[in-house]
């Protein structure tokens, strides 16, 4: 069965970034997909999710913090796996927007998000 996604408009979030939901439906609870845009010099809110997440970097440069690990440099073409219930945060260290896809399994919902700030 094919389902056509209906992306929502880009929204500013308290996470200090812009998010566009591309796929997040009760009909497909196993996965969600969103595009995130972080402006230059901005660090997103430290948080954790109770779902597994991947960041697929489309454009820009950043520093990704996952748990207690040393932050790692990320740029276009990189994919970052983020285990569930692990603290995470990304800083846009470049001169242009940092843009990445967020893939969550199972799908993202606000109840799986915990701010650590």
Domain limits of the chain? 11-115
pLDDT of residue 41: 98
Environment class of residue 28 by beta-carbon count within 10 Å: exposed (0-12), middle (13-18) or buried (19+)?
middle
Considering the segment(s) 11-115 as one domain, its CATH architecture is Sandwich (2.60)
Contact 63, 71 (CB under 8 A): yes
Exposed e or buried b per residue across 61-71, where buried means at least 16 C-beta atoms within 10 angstroms of its C-beta: bbbbbbeeeee
pLDDT tens profile 15-56:
999 999 999 989 899 999 999 999 999 999 999 999 999 999
pLDDT tens profile 83-94:
999 999 999 999
pTM of the model: 0.92
Confidence of residue 4 (pLDDT cuts 50, 70, 90): low
DSSP H helices in the chain: none
pLDDT of residue 11: 92
């Amino acid at each position: 069965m094919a389902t056509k996604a209906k992306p929502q408009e880009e929204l500013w979030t308290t996470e200090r970034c812009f998010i566009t939901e591309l796929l997040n439906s009760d009909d497909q609870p196993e996965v969600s997909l969103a595009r995130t845009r972080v402006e230059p010099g901005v660090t997103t809110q430290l948080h954790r999710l109770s779902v597994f997440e991947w960041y697929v970097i489309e454009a820009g440069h950043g520093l990704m913090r996952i748990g207690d690990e040393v932050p790692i440099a990320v740029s276009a073409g990189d994919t970052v796996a983020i285990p569930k219930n692990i603290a995470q945060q990304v800083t846009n260290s470049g001169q242009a927007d940092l843009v990445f896809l967020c893939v969550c399994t199972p799908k993202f919902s606000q109840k799986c998000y915990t701010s650590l700030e």
